[in-house]
Structures are given as structure tokens and as C-alpha cells.
Amino acid sequence: MNISKGQAFEPKILGFLCNWCSYAGADLAGVSRFQYPPNIRVIRVMCSAKVNPTYVMKALLDGVDGVFIGGCHIGDCHYAMGNYYTRRRVIMLKKVLEIMGIEPERLRLEWVSASEGIIFAEVMKDFTQVIKNLGPNPLKSRR
Amino acid sequence: MKNYSKVIQNIARAMLRAGLVDEVVAFGRDSPASDIIPLFITDERDVEKIVTVSYYPCSLAQLVALYGDKNKRIGMIVRPCDARAMVELAKRRQVNLDNFYIIGIECYGVLRTRNKNEEIYIFPNEMEIDGELKTLDEGILSPNCRRCEYPIPTMADVSCRIEPNGESSVTANTEKGRAVLAAANISSQQSPSDRTAIKERAARWQEKDFGELKKMNRDERLKYWLNQLDKCIKCYGCRDSCPLCYCEVCNLCPEKPLIQGGEIPPERLFHITRLMHVGDSCCNCGQCEAACPMGIPLSRLYHMLYKELSSIFGYESGLNVNSLPPISSINEEDLVKTGVDLG
């Protein structure tokens, strides 16, 4: 997305949503007609633990402004233990970002269940605002 | 010049003679004119070739994991970082520690590069250059060694300490270690190994190496790392020298869809992928940085992430074979925490 003068910065956010909870939550947000910013591009994954840390880094290195990972609440994982691993990976990823000099706030992990459409909409509003405040990804201009 | 190699030669000879091991892996000179190379020794007459110098050309842990005969019992004479790498490889089921007799040598640093004309031995506070004892100049040490907190191989079966006066003391840490010492007819001593001085040195250099990066603002730090990573010529030296990079089919190969082949410098993801694969249990052996022809400070990057993760997860790599790498395991405490972080 090119930002010309006077045009507001609209971030591109990549979302990895788990099939069983967050994707259904996002679906519910849509069906219930909750308003949220259209900046997220969703990739459906079977489990949040399917999100290889490399995917997140590739997205950010290729210039995406923010990455959102949505998983089931702790204890609700369809595959029993997936989200425990995701949590540890995200902690590591945030440290990698910090060390490299990228704002760790550009990566966000949230637990969103299938019944939490309103929470998904709230999280999207909040995350989009956070990314807007951070500005464009510094890596975009350094390709 | 004192014969510092005598004690490890004696242990290697005893292990071979008593039939504890089929072969001994150690660094040595194949002929008097040869450089220091890794040797696989099966004949006890060849143990004379084993030497100890303050230079470490490659990781022996990686060599035995890749090329070691899985059915043979192998004795290894290694530095603490390699002993830790062996423990990490055992966790990843790449080696079976039951087959290995690990003899660790206390190590207070190795040289950046080896000068062929002089023999240098490093001790905690002194160094011996061509038979002359001098105060240790930390500048000649490899950068990762200056940050190292593990000079004593407590995770090895036997740990040997060699003093500047040529004397040595040996400690058995495990049952296997006691068997080795019994075969060698050496009595185990509880060495009063003091880590405080070396920890102080490690803290000082970590503060210098990591502190100066942490003090930068984000943009400067990003610029610094991107400049470093863009020096890469994709020789795969860091991957090939790393004892923890054990995958037979590597994600970084051009046959895999992750990294576009034929591009120099490669995508930054090349190094970031490796960072995330080994960063949680990097044993700070410095082989990646030593192998890099472009002088990218890789061990600084990996060790920095390792230290950060180590303080979060309370994990120390390579000390205990029963504690699993933090990114690929969960523990009891995780089960009761419901937030998106472990705080």
C-alpha cells in the first residue's frame, strides 16, 4: 500500500485464526454485524500451533504491518495442547522482534472463542489502532 | 614447555585399554607437522597424537552426531560447550549418551584464530605463549568465550582441570566417569572449582556486547542487524558448523519453498529461521561465528536471544538431559496459567 501525502495510513494486518475458535469467532462477528476495521487479512489454520514462527517472521520481513494470532482459550484447544505451545512461541517471537529492532507490539496473540464475536471485533479495533499509532513497518522501506 | 596433554592422553589410553570404548574422538596432530584436526583413535598407540591447545577448529559433538558409528562406544575429549551440545543433541534423540564417555576439559576461552607459529594455552588468569607465562589478554579470546559462564564441564562424565604449572586434577561426575577413572587408576578429586571470577568476566562482556545493542533505539538496532545480515553470501557455514542444527532435510535448502534459491544476499529470513530453531538452546560454542567468512557476529545474535529466553523460561541449555528445550515443551506451571503470556 503506497502512502501518498494527506492519505491516512491504513495498516495491513495478517491474521492467523484457528479453525475451531477464533475463525468461528470472526465468523460470528460478521454474522452479528459487529463493526470492526477491515485491515485484517485472515488465513485460517487448523490450530494456532500450526503457525510456524517462521511464517510470522516472513510476513513481517516482507512488510506486513502487524500479525495477529487467534487461538482457543487455554484448556479449550481442539487438539488439547496446541495453544500452550503457541503461547511459548509467541513469547520467543516477541523477543526475536525486540532484539532485531522491530516493535514487539506488531505481533499479538489473543484467545478468542467461537462465541466471542464481540471480543474479536473489539480486539481488531484495538490492534488496528495500536498499529496505526506505531506507523508503517520499518522493514517495508528496507527491502 | 610443560606437557599439558598428558592427563587426557592417559585417560584416553586407559579407556581404550580397558575396553570401555571402541574409539576416542579428540583433537590432535596426525603428524608433528599437521595442524590440529579431529582424530578418531582406535589404537592406543595413537593417543600420543592427542593434544590440548587453545584453539577449537570444529564441534566434535556435531562430528559424532553426523559421522559417529551408532553401534560403537565412543570416548570424547571435549570442551564444556561441546559437552553441553552433546546433552542438547541427546535431548533431541540424535545421540544416545549411554554410548558416550565424555571427558571434559576445563576451558577458559579459545583463540579467535590460530597462529601457527606459537603455542598458546589459556588459563583463568594467565596464558602461556611459547612456554612463557603472561597475564591473560582477553582481547585474543573468541568473543563468545569471553561471554561464557560455563568453564567447568559438570555435565561431562569426567572433568579435568589443567593448571599452569602442568599439574592436573580430575573429577568424576557420573558412574561412567568413576569407571573411567578406575580404569586409568587416577583418584577423583572434588576440585574446588570456583566460577565467580569467570562469571564476573562473562557478565562484564555480556554487558558490553549486548548492552551496547540494547542501548540503541529500535531503528538503529534494526539498521545494525540488517547491515550485518546483508553481508551474508549464503555459504551455509553457520548451519553446517552448528552442533544443534541436526535436521537431515533442512528448511533453508533451495529445494524447500521457504528461501528463494540463487539470491545473494539471501532473504533475511535465512538467519532468522536459524535463530528461532537453535536460539532457545544455543550453547554458545561460537562455531557459527568462526565459520562465517563475512564476519557476521552470529554468536552475539544467538547468545543474546538465548540469554533473554533463559531468563524468561528459567532454562539453561546443556546442563541437564531431563529438562527439555523451552520452545518445544511445556511444563506443569503452563497448565494453570490462562493468559496470553506466562507472566
What is the DSSP secondary-structure string of B9-59? HHHHHHHHHTTS-SEEEEEE-SSTTS--EEEEE-SGGGGGGB---S---S-
- For chain B, give the longest Cα–Cα distance: 63
Residue A4 has pLDDT above 60, yes or no: no
Q: State which residue of chain B sits closest to A80, comparing Cα positions.
A: B335
Question: Does residue B140 fall inside a structural domain?
Answer: yes
- Asked which of B184, B215, B248 is the last residue of a domain, the reply is B184
Q: Please indicate, yes or no, whether residues B157 and B237 belong to a single structural domain of this protein.
A: no
CB < 8 Å from A in window 249-278 of B: 251, 258, 267-269, 272-273, 275-276
Quick check: helix, strand or coil at residue B220? helix
CB contact under 8 A, A99 and B301: yes
Q: State whether B25 and B168 are in the same domain.
A: yes
- B30 and B172 together in one domain: yes
- For residues B36 and B113, membership in a common domain is answered with yes
- What pLDDT is recorded for position B164? 84
Alpha helices in chain A (DSSP H): 22-31, 53-61, 82-100, 117-134
Angle at A27 between CA A25 and CA A29, to 5 degrees: 70
What is the band of B233 on the pLDDT scale with cuts at 50, 70, 90? very high
For chain A, say whether B140 makes contact (Cβ under 8 Å): no
Segment B94-108, tens digit of pLDDT: 999 999 999 999 989
- Mean pLDDT across B289-302: 93
Residue A65 identity (one-letter amino acid): D
Residues B206 and B282 in one domain: yes
B79 and B228, same domain (yes or no): no
Q: Is B240's pLDDT higher than 70?
A: yes
Question: Given this model, what pLDDT does residue B139 score?
Answer: 85
* B245 lies in the same domain as B127: no
- Residue A103: what pLDDT? 94
Residues with Cβ < 8 Å from A67, sequence gap 6 or more?
A: A13, A14, A15, A16, A56, A59, A60, A106, A107, A108
Structural domain includes residue B1: no
Q: Is A5 on the interface with B (CB under 8 A)?
A: no
Q: Decide if A138 touches B, using CB distance below 8 A.
A: yes
pLDDT of residue A6: 58
Is B343 inside a domain boundary? no
B267 contacts A91? CB cut-off 8 A: no
Nearest residue in chain A measured CA to CA from B312: A91
* B136-173 pLDDT per residue, tens: 888 888 999 999 999 999 899 999 988 888 888 899 99
CA-based nearest residue to B52, from B42, B60, B44: B60
Contacts with A83 (C-beta within 8 Å, 6 or more apart), sequence order: A18, A47, A48, A49, A71, A72, A73, A74, A76, A77, A111
Collect all residues of chain B within an 8 Å Cβ-Cβ radius of residue A99. Answer: 213, 221, 225, 301, 304-305, 308
Q: Using a pLDDT cut of 90, give the percent of chain B over it.
A: 60
Do B204 and B178 reside in the same domain of the chain? Answer: no
β-pair partners for A45: A18
Residue B338 lies in a domain: no
Rounded distance between C-alpha atoms, residue B45 and residue B336, angstroms: 59
Range A49-70 average pLDDT: 94
Cα separation of A75 and B164, whole Å?
A: 58
pLDDT digits (tens, 9 = 90+) for B23-63: 999 999 888 888 889 999 999 899 999 988 788 888 999 99
Q: Would you state the cell numbers that stand for residue A61, as one nine-digit string?
A: 520481513
Query: Which of B184, B209, B232 is the C-terminal boundary of a domain?
Result: B184
Total domains in chain B come to 2
Please confirm whether the linkage preceding B164 is cis (ω < 30° from 0).
no
Question: Which residues, numbered 279 to 318 in chain B, qualify as contacts with chain A under a Cβ-Cβ cut-off of 8 Å?
Answer: 279-280, 301, 304-305, 308-309, 312-313
B270-302 burial, b for 16+ CB within 10 Å, e for fewer?
bbbbbbbbbbbbbbbbbbbbbbbeeebbbbbbb
Rounded average pLDDT over A120-141: 93
Contact across the interface for B216 and A101, Cβ inside 8 Å: yes
The overall average pLDDT reported for chain B is 89
State residue B166's pLDDT score. Answer: 81
pLDDT per residue over B172-183, tens digit each? 999 999 999 999
Cα separation of the two ends of chain B: 55
C-alpha cell at A55: 511464517
Judge contact between A59 and A93, C-beta under 8 A. no
The reported pLDDT for the residue numbered B92 is: 92
Q: Is B43 on the interface with A (CB under 8 A)?
A: no
Domain that holds residue B64: 6-184
Identity of the residue in B218, B276, B326 whose CB atom sits nearest the CB atom of A53: B276
Residue B204 and residue B97 share a domain: no
Distance from CA of B121 to the nearest CA of A (A): 35
What residues contact B136, with CB distance under 8 A and at least 6 apart? B108, B122, B123, B124, B125, B126, B127
Domain A13-138 has CATH 3.40.50: yes
- Answer whether residue B191 is part of any domain: no
Confidence (pLDDT) at B221: 94
Best mutation target, A99, A102, A111, A134, to test chain B (most B CBs within 10 A)? A99
A/B interface, count of CB pairs below 8 Å: 95
Which of A68, A50, A74 lies closest to A128, judged by CA?
Answer: A68
Provide the grid cell at B309: 529466553
Sheet architecture: strand order including B100-105: B37-41, B23-28, B74-78, B100-105, B158-162, B168-172
Q: How confident is the model at residue B122 (pLDDT cuts 50, 70, 90)?
A: confident
CA distance A66 to chain B (A): 16
The DSSP secondary structure of A25-55, one letter per residue, reads HHHHHHHTT----TTEEEEEES-GGG--HHH
Residue B194, pLDDT score: 75
- Taking the CA of residue B284 and the nearest CA in chain A, the distance in Å comes to 17
Whether residues B105 and B171 fall in one domain: yes
CA distance B170 to B190: 8
Task: Tell me which residue in A58, A74, A96 faces B305 most closely, judged by beta carbons.
Answer: A96
Q: How far away is chain A from the Cα of B306, in angstroms, using its nearest Cα? A: 10
Q: At residue B6, does pLDDT exceed 80? A: yes
Q: Model ipTM?
A: 0.90
In the stretch 148-207 of chain B, residues with CB closer than 8 A to chain A read none
Q: Give the integer Cα–Cα distance in Å for B317 and B279.
A: 10
pTM here? 0.92
pLDDT of residue B193: 67
- Model confidence at A94: pLDDT above 60: yes
Whether residue B34 is found in the same domain as residue B170 = yes
Is residue A135 less than 8 Å (CB to CB) from chain B? no
B218, three cell numbers: 529500535
